[in-house]
Structure 1
């Protein structure tokens, strides 16, 4: 007798579409663009390919590290490297993030690897927030375009934002919150991974054991496909924003003095994507036309951390509370950086 209370079995087609919804979204958007503007579709496809090539080394390295750590059992060693004093751990992570050569999207694969290995969210958040804002080449270019004072202040803002995020998360975790930051199906769902709870001996020559080699291949493929689908969607949206939203129009309203333009620049910097390097000459020109220095700082900080492509990638990795906290800390940190730099320049 059929149990009428039992839910109907899922349909294979619907199940497959749900699993591939991100790829379907990208394909649908590109198809619509192709129908409306074939040349823009070609430009977007070219942009995606170029962006993936530039991000590819970071993606490949992160996938290899994550899959290799799981296959060898070294993930427990990596996680233990981030144990000890939270204060020191967060400080070092923020400092490393402020000096690392990762962009807002390029850092995503590394963050995914760290979280799935069991690295505490407080340290990961510190690195995550600081990393996209500044790196050695960005420091040199910022010094040349906006001046050494601006470059130093932006570096301090990156480290400060990392510290703010790391210590905020540490306090929340101490209160019992954010114990499972990752979404279901990514790693094993939290910062207390199985490798940390029950560490096993490390087997560096994992390819000599079929089971470990199989795990390496499975995890590498799974991680690559997961990150790739979200990066493709992120880069597609980035290409459309660059094509249809003039950066000059976004930033023309950010001049003047006082906290108003700084707050507005912080909000505008969240959805408006500007490549960090391409943004510098534009912001420099606007500053010569009257854009407030604090507004320039808050715009670059907020845009670097929470641009739409980066936010999409973050959303794909973590649960909504962690994502909302990431956005809130970014907004607060960018606003504080802008206000502080404005006071400094006026003094």
Structure 2
């Protein structure tokens, strides 16, 4: 009797722990919004509007990514995708970095695809290359950067994105070959990177999955699970971003990253991590600073470091990956952004 009670108590505790783990992001988001609303109702409404507007803006990318990931799982095509990422890691990293720097997906839109790839056993090195390059630039950001800062700056930012992806990918490859990061995903996300069994025993995909009730169910289940996962983490990210935009004046950022020389590039890199506004708001700020004498290399370092570690991108990594992978991601953002700024400044000299 006692053993039964203890077993049931242990099971109940485990269930409660998992429920709290699943819901704590919702609680944190609701608590922050409620506190802001009580202290400043106007800002509370503005933050809520900001979250809704950004979720709506990213919805097309998210829906496409979620649909592709769910379709790959329902049809069994995920095994083919994972097998396509086997082979020479050097080539995989090169392709992943280039695609990440040139793809139209925002950092939020690639989350379900990255989670699926890691869960299927795709090497972390290739995923890291794509993950690092993706938030820095995309076609629309390239056009906007060229219009605000000039075509030369836009090219430099694109090359920095691809270079950062290559740097992170090859360093991660060396670390994984030494035995590190064997299980990169957090517990409960995908299958913790152990999905390589599907690659070892592949089955032909069923492209018209809707004719099979079990596959239709799997499609709906995966799409719903991924949608809820994205919605809770992005809601928290956008709430925090709205508060940063409201309470971190652009003048403070300008004062911190202004100046010339190596010191300005170092400061811009470090400030870009916590104080980055967003991709669109940062461009005119950097343009004004460069016009006032700020080193262009410092401006590039600020944009690259801030883009990789912006709240949506960083929280996406935190939500999916274990802490060691997140720390590695931030380290790549800092060192790679500083190197990009220095190289750009040397090239202009």
TM-score normalised by the chain length of structure 1 = 0.94
CA-CA distance at 1:108 after TM superposition: 2.5
Q: Is the 8 A contact 1:58 1:106 kept in 2?
A: yes
CA-CA distance at 1:6 after TM superposition: 4.7
Match of 1:88 in 2: 91
CA-CA distance at 1:14 after TM superposition: 6.4
Q: Is the 8 A contact 1:142 1:280 kept in 2?
A: yes
Q: What is the rounded CA distance, in whole Å, between the counterparts of 1:60 and 1:140 in structure 2?
A: 24
Q: Would you say 1:126 and 2:129 are equivalent positions?
A: yes
Farther off after superposition, 244-253 or 33-42: 244-253
1:108-123 alignment runs, 5 A limit: 108-123=111-126
> Structure 2, unaligned stretches of length 5 or more?
none
Q: Would you say 1:257 and 2:264 are equivalent positions?
A: no
CA-CA distance at 1:107 after TM superposition: 3.1
Q: Deviations over 1:17-72 (max 9, x none)?
A: 44211101100000001101111111111111111111111211121111221111
Match of 1:243 in 2: 246
CA-CA distance at 1:295 after TM superposition: 1.0
Match of 1:229 in 2: 232
Q: Would you say 1:316 and 2:319 are equivalent positions?
A: yes
Match of 2:293 in 1: 290
Q: Would you say 1:43 and 2:37 are equivalent positions?
A: no
CA-CA distance at 1:86 after TM superposition: 1.0
Match of 2:197 in 1: 194
Match of 1:27 in 2: 30
Match of 2:76 in 1: 73
TM-score normalised by the chain length of structure 2 = 0.93
Match of 1:303 in 2: 306
CA-CA distance at 1:269 after TM superposition: 0.8
Q: Would you say 1:64 and 2:73 are equivalent positions?
A: no
Q: Is the 8 A contact 1:182 1:318 kept in 2?
A: yes
Match of 1:211 in 2: 214
CA-CA distance at 1:15 after TM superposition: 5.4
More helix by share: 2
Match of 1:268 in 2: 271
Q: Is the 8 A contact 1:237 1:309 kept in 2?
A: no
Q: Would you say 1:106 and 2:109 are equivalent positions?
A: yes
Q: Would you say 1:160 and 2:168 are equivalent positions?
A: no
Q: Is the 8 A contact 1:58 1:109 kept in 2?
A: no
Q: Is the 8 A contact 1:182 1:317 kept in 2?
A: yes
CA-CA distance at 1:314 after TM superposition: 0.9
Farther off after superposition, 155-164 or 189-198: 189-198
SS of residue in 1 equivalent to 2:182? coil
CA-CA distance at 1:251 after TM superposition: 2.4
> Structure 1, unaligned stretches of length 5 or more?
none
Matched residues, number? 346
CA-CA distance at 1:4 after TM superposition: 11
CA-CA distance at 1:298 after TM superposition: 0.5
SS of residue in 1 equivalent to 2:91? helix
CA-CA distance at 1:137 after TM superposition: 2.2
SS of residue in 2 equivalent to 1:155? helix
SS of residue in 1 equivalent to 2:293? coil
Q: What is the rounded CA distance, in whole Å, between the counterparts of 1:266 and 1:324 in structure 2?
A: 16
Match of 2:223 in 1: 220
Q: What is the rounded CA distance, in whole Å, between the counterparts of 1:291 and 1:186 in structure 2?
A: 43
SS of residue in 2 equivalent to 1:20? helix
CA-CA distance at 1:317 after TM superposition: 0.2
Q: What is the rounded CA distance, in whole Å, between the counterparts of 2:4 and 2:122 in structure 1?
A: 46
Q: What is the rounded CA distance, in whole Å, between the counterparts of 1:259 and 1:245 in structure 2?
A: 25
CA-CA distance at 1:267 after TM superposition: 1.0
CA-CA distance at 1:331 after TM superposition: 0.6
